[in-house]
Structure 1
Amino acid sequence: MRNKLLAGAMALALIGCSEKPADDAQVATSDGAPATEAASDDAGGDIPLQAAPGVAFDYSYTFRLADDRIAKVQEEHAAACEALGVQHCRIVDVRYRLDDEKFVEAQTRFKLDPGIARKFGSSAIASVEKAAGVLADASVNGEDVGTGVLASQQRSAGARAEIARIEDRLKQGGLDKSERAELLSQISALRGQLGEERQSRRTGEGRIAWTDVAFNYASDGGVPGIGNRNPFGTAWATLLGSGGTLLSVLLFVGAAVLPWALIAGTAIFLWRRFRPRKAKPSAPAA
């Protein structure tokens, strides 16, 4: 099983790449042309970014380790991201949960510079193994976002050309009010389309510029309802807690009832001690 997991981890090395976004003009003219290599020295053995231009990757890892070590490993991964700086790594979500069965579930999501995403994942695997954990699952999904960006640029170019044509028609004059209003309405709609296309390109370029990486942490086993805790130690602690609770209740009840019981007992004693005695009837004469 361990060999299969290591083989799966090595498969990630074949896909850890992407490219940084270019501006609209550069993307429009770079279709099919090799991109400039941008992998830094820190990327180690990462594949050059031009291997998959315009592709946005999502990395997902699932680690399995002891419950009491998950929080520490999760903190180590967050610290490793912070050490890279916000230019290369950003933490976007952190979760930690103890479920009803006393198992820990946690997740940390990052946005990483595509050039170091795979190396960051490899370092995370090493830290989990150091904590006696294992890589339980790993996947990499890629989406061709660059093609959509290029198509958006082409649509924007067509919209700008149509706006220019309509504006030329308006300059020629000879239009009645309804025709002029119709042409102005078309220009307004086209400019709205340009804004939507621009926002779409920015979103796509953002996905290319930053790789989403998710670390999922799961418990490595244990007894449902108990987890990895010592059940005998837990039972003893519960017994002591219950005994302490019972003693507290008895003391509380005693403190509340005892004074009244003493008063009632004293009153009964005094009544019996000082109550008038009835005279005994005299015996009849013989």
Structure 2
Amino acid sequence: MEMRRIDLAKLAAGPVLVLVVTGCESGGRVSDSSEMTSADIAEPAAVEERMNAGEDSSADEIAVSLPKIAYVYSFGYRLSPNAIAPLQMAQADLCEAQGPRTCRILDMRQAGMEGQFSSGSLTLAVAAPQARAFGAKLMTLADDAGGSQISSAIGGEDLSKQIVDTEARVRARTILRDRLLEVLATRKGTVAELVEAERAVARVNEEIDQAKGWLAEMRQRVDYSRMEITYRSGMPETGGFMTPVRQAISSIAAILGNMLAFAVVALTVLLPLGLVGWAVWRLVRRLRHAEGTALENPRSP
């Protein structure tokens, strides 16, 4: 019985000893941490700041390496005058069916003239990844309407440098604004300095808003490609017997207008001169008539 009691006491004392030792060790660590200097506390923050700076620089490098190009697609179709409006509406409906996040209508115009000549235009903003596939769908609609594609072009403008420069400007101005706000919050300085700081904050905020507007516009141009579509009717001018005749008929209005303009100018200039000449001629005639009468009836001495 005594041996069992001793063993139980040892078993009970073991965990207590472990807890005491652990508590001492933990207490020693706490006391050590309480003696940490400000340099030890600042070091992790500095490391984290350097890591963040490294992440930002790597992100900037990735942004610079990947080109940000704003594409402009141009398509031209020739078809009969009566088919221009239906094709234009069909292509506009196709754009709206894609949803505003994929395609948007920016401009839509029609112009008709007498005879076999009419034209129209449609300007769209299409999500860049779907732009080329959407152009193929537009061509299918034109083929179904009996039209033919007469022109096609793709142009691009690299906005990578402008976007990176604008982002850097926004970051720099934001840091400057935060420092100015700290100055205003601490109220350190004279009244004139505080007033100047408030004015500087207003100017910096205006610059930040302007730069963010430019940045949003450039990103919009990169994310959504501009698609310009033109519609024309009639046959192309290939020369021949009727080409000069059509040109002469189309220039009749201009010729008549020039003739009328010449007549107006002539009347404006010649009519006053004619009136002055007629008055001078009448005066000279009267003077001659008076001299002749005086010679025929001389006075007696």
TM-score bracket relative to the smaller structure: 0.5 to 0.7
* Change in CA separation of 1:165 and 1:85 when aligned onto 2, cut-off 3 Å: closer
Q: 1:202 aligns with which of 216, 234, 242?
A: 216
Q: Provide the residue aligned with 2:93 in structure 1.
A: 79
2:62 is equivalent to residue 33 of structure 1: yes
SS of residue in 1 equivalent to 2:219: helix
Which secondary structure state, in structure 2, belongs to the residue aligned with residue 33 of structure 1?
helix
Is residue 2:127 matched to residue 1:113? yes
Identity %: 21
* CA offsets 1:199-249 (integer angstroms, 9 cap, x no match): 22111222222111111001132989xx9xxxxxxxxxxxxxxxxxxxxxx
Supply the distance in 2 between the matched residues of 1:115 and 1:86 (Cα, whole angstroms): 14
Structure-2 change in CA distance of 1:213 and 1:29 (3 Å): farther
Task: Note the C-alpha offset of 1:166.
Answer: 3.1
State the secondary structure of the residue aligned to 1:143: strand
- Say whether the 8 Å CA contact 2:63–2:164 is kept in structure 1: no
Number of the residue aligned with 2:166: 152
Do residues 126 (structure 1) and 140 (structure 2) align?
Answer: yes
Q: Does 1:91 align with 2:105?
A: yes
Does the residue aligned with 1:215 lie in a helix, a strand or coil?
Answer: strand
For residues 19-58 of structure 1, the aligned pairs below 5 Å read 30-33=59-62, 53-58=67-72
In the TM superposition, what whole-angstrom CA distance separates every residue of 1:159-184 from its partner, at most 9, and x where no partner exists? Answer: 12222333444566552222221122
Alignment gaps of 5+ in structure 1:
1-25, 36-49, 228-286
Alpha carbons of structure 1 residues 135 and 176: separation in structure 2 relative to 1, 3 Å: same
Q: How far off its partner does 1:79 sit?
A: 2.5
What RMSD in Å do the two structures reach over aligned CA positions? 3.1
Residue 76 of structure 1: how far off its partner (Å): 2.3
Residues 117 and 174 of structure 1: is their aligned pair in 2 closer, same or farther, counting only changes over 3 Å? Answer: closer
Contact 1:28/1:153 (<8 A) preserved: no
Which residue does the alignment assign to 1:218? 232
Q: What is aligned with 2:179? A: 165
Relative to structure 1, is the Cα distance of residues 138 and 162 closer, same or farther in structure 2, using a 3 angstrom cutoff? same
Distance 1:121 1:109 in 2: 12
Cα distance in 2 between the residues matched to 1:97 and 1:218: 10
Distance 2:79 2:60 in 1: 45
Alpha-carbon distance between aligned partners in 2 of 1:27 and 1:96, rounded to the nearest angstrom: 50
Number of residue pairs matched by the alignment = 185
Separation (CA, whole Å) in 1 of partners of 2:176 and 2:62: 29
Q: TM-score, normalized by length of structure 1?
A: 0.56
Rate the CA distance shift 1:28–1:58 in 2: closer, same or farther, 3 A.
farther
**More helix by proportion, 1 or 2?**
2
Q: What CA distance in whole angstroms lies between the structure 2 residues aligned with 1:130 and 1:221? A: 19
SS in 2 for 1:135: strand
Given that 1:64 and 1:135 are in contact with CA atoms closer than 8 Å, whether structure 2 keeps it comes out as yes
Q: Give, in whole Å, the separation in 1 of the partners of 2:90 and 2:59.
A: 40
CA separation of 1:172 and 1:83: change in aligned 2, threshold 3 A: closer
Closer, same or farther: CA 76–27 of 1 in aligned 2, 3 Å: farther
Q: Tell me how far apart the structure 1 counterparts of residues 106 and 57 of structure 2 sit (CA, whole Å).
A: 31
Q: Which ranges of structure 2 fall in alignment gaps of 5 or more residues?
A: 1-54, 237-241, 247-301
Q: Does 1:67 align with 2:96?
A: no
Kept in 2: contact 1:96–1:107 (CA 8 A): yes
Cα pair distance change 1:150/1:29, threshold 3 Å: farther
Instruction: Report the alpha carbon displacement of residue 112 of structure 1 after superposing the two structures with TM.
Output: 1.0
User: How far apart are 1:118 and its partner, in Å?
Assistant: 0.9
Structure-2-length-normalised TM-score: 0.53
Q: Partner amino acid for 2:172?
A: G
Q: Which has the larger radius of gyration?
A: 2
Matches within 5 A, 1:12-23: none
- Matched AA of 1:83: A
